[in-house]
Chain A
Amino acid sequence: MLESLLEFLIQGLVLGGLYALFAVGLSLIFGVLDVINVAHGEFFAIGGYLAFAAVVLLHLPGAVGVLGAAVGTFLLGLCVYPLLIAPLKRRLGGRPQGPLYLVLTLGLSTFLQSSLLAIAGGDYLRVPPQVSGILDLGVTAVSHQRLLVLAAAAVLLTALFAFLRFHPEGLAVRAVALNSDAAQAMGINLPRIFALTLALGVALAGVGGALMAPLFNVYPAVGFPLTIKAFAITILGGMGNPAGALVASFLVSIAESLSVMVIPSQWQNLIAFAVMIVMLLVRPRGLFGRAVSR
């Protein structure tokens, strides 16, 4: 019994790394831009496609594929704010109209996903693992690839939090999230910070996509289930609270993993949504909160 527990705990931990890469970026984007990026999963998919292109088509090493995914999704992400969100903001003036931005990113999601389908076709593309081999922990075995995802998450997220905490630009990002008017009075260029934050957030997803490509395969809709689950995770942790999203990622991944002991596996996904709905009804600001109204 204890062995099972340990096994599922470890699997949950490893899964949490992926969730964290995804959810932290999503939460950061919401915290700074006040926009829920429904298209986040598509950047995950694009990361996978870029890795595929680099490794399978161009025969470059796996690491280059991951780097290419990061850079590619970052650059693409830079375009989203000025091309889509800024024009809508201009039209709406200062009035907060959250749902409209949601509709906008939903449109982007549909556009990107179906564009991928149009360009690359719907086949599940195979990408070779960046690392091979399995780590035998006795109670369970974990593939090195999955550990790589966890390690990458640890490194990247530590770097992100350090950036936000210590670097002047990171401080500026936090300032914008807290009080964008005051931030402007400090000389902070809002459009630049918005674009940068969005690009950073989706680049994290892109890296996740490149690293998970060997495990999930690459196809246009690969990111969407993660997106919805990430909504649940970010709400649990407190929408706009990246640290909260980090903790919530592991809470959910471990809960999902452990739940297999009591419910059939295909109902696993239900947990995240059930948690989200309960959270929204009971305590919308999540475990670690950011106030609901802004």
Chain B
Amino acid sequence: MLELEDVRGGYGKLEILQSASLRVPDGAIVGIIGPNGAGKSTLLKTAFGYLAPWAGRIALDGQPIAGRRPDEIMRRGVGYLAQAGGLFAEMTVHDNLVLGGYTVSRAEKRRAIEDVYARFPLFRDRRRQLAGALSGGEQRLLAIARALIVRPRLLLLDEPSAALAPRFIDLIYATLVALNRDGLAMLIVEQNVEAILAVAHRVFVLDLGRNAFDGTPAELRGSDRIRRLYLGEDDEA
């Protein structure tokens, strides 16, 4: 569904990605892990169009999308969840959801928002509150709910578990797994290696702007080298 091949890029003159490649098959959960500064978030931003790649190929359903604007990529069925600050904190919960439906009809928007309220009653109760007043976990959940309003086929998530209490991490990931069962593909950048290894179909390891390894979670756990370098000390009970 999504293909990145030999992508080079960065910010301004600073090169962060030297040669990054990955594939997200339809309906799959693919994870990206790696040390700080490896370029994981940069790769995600480049895939979504916030950054233009300097070289390499990016294709969605076979169509090249390198250099396209984020809103153009979004309209092709891709959602993006930023690591922090993805909501409009000074707007109400309800307005955030309304904006989530910017590209769909009013009727569709109303229906979709009703669905969100049905699924997450806490948002209905607090729909007039400013989004910034919600707790970290609630904000993350709201961001996901908002992204779902337009029924994307692929979600790009940048560290969905960052700064969240374990209770919320479980909730978020349970939600993501449920969504994936309905056919939603995901590309997830994660620092929380355990969380992503538990749910991903395939994981790519990025280091210093290039691919270091990729495989199934089992393959990653099976490799001593990978375990030592990227998964921390042996944590198998």
Contact = CB atoms under 8 A, between A and B. Distances in A.
A186 B69 contact: no
B12 A175 contact: no
Shortest beta-carbon contacts, A-B, top 10: A184-B70, A187-B103, A185-B80, A187-B74, A186-B102, A187-B71, A184-B71, A186-B99, A178-B88, A187-B102
B98 interface: yes
A188 B102 contact: yes
A95 B12 contact: yes
B99 A175 contact: yes
A144 interface: no
Range of interface residues on A (Cβ < 8 Å)? 20 to 34
B50 A189 contact: no
A204 B48 CA distance: 36
B98 A187 contact: no
Interface in B68-82: 69-71, 74-75, 79-80, 82
B82 A181 contact: yes
For the complex, would chain B's binding face be called helix, strand, loop or mixed by DSSP majority?
loop
B88 A175 contact: yes
Contacts of B90: 178
Contacts of B75: 187
Interface stretch (A5-13, A166-174, A230-238): A166-174
Contacts of A171: 95, 98-99, 102
A185 B86 contact: yes
Nearest to A192: B71
B82 A190 contact: no
Contacts of A93: 11-12
A263 B167 CA distance: 66
B215 interface: no
B82 A187 contact: no
Interface of B: 11-12, 48-50, 69-71, 74-75, 79-80, 82, 85-91, 95, 98-100, 102-103, 147, 150
Contacts of B150: 187
Nearest to A169: B102
B91 A185 contact: no
Contacts of A183: 99
B33 to A, nearest CB: 23
Given A181-B70, A184-B74, A185-B86, 13 more contacts: A93-B11, A95-B12, A172-B99, A175-B99, A179-B89, A181-B50, A181-B86, A182-B87, A182-B88, A184-B70, A185-B71, A186-B99, A187-B75
B98 A190 contact: no
A99 interface: no
Interface string A67-100: 0000000000000000000000000011100000
Contacts of B74: 184-187
B95 to A, nearest CB: 6
Contacts of A189: 69, 71
Contact of A175 (B50, B69, B91, B103): B91
Contacts of A178: 88-91
Contacts of A186: 71, 74, 99-100, 102-103
Contacts of B88: 175, 178-179, 182
A95 B80 CA distance: 22
A92 to B, nearest CB: 10
A182 B97 CA distance: 12
27 contacts: A94-B11, A171-B95, A171-B98, A171-B99, A171-B102, A172-B99, A175-B91, A178-B88, A178-B91, A179-B85, A179-B86, A179-B88, A179-B89, A181-B70, A183-B99, A184-B49, A184-B50, A184-B74, A185-B70, A185-B80, A186-B99, A186-B103, A187-B75, A187-B102, A188-B71, A188-B102, A190-B69
Contact of A185 (B12, B82, B89, B95): B82
Contacts of A175: 88, 91, 99
B9 to A, nearest CB: 12
A245 B108 CA distance: 36
B98 A184 contact: no
Interface in A91-117: 93-95
A182 B82 contact: yes
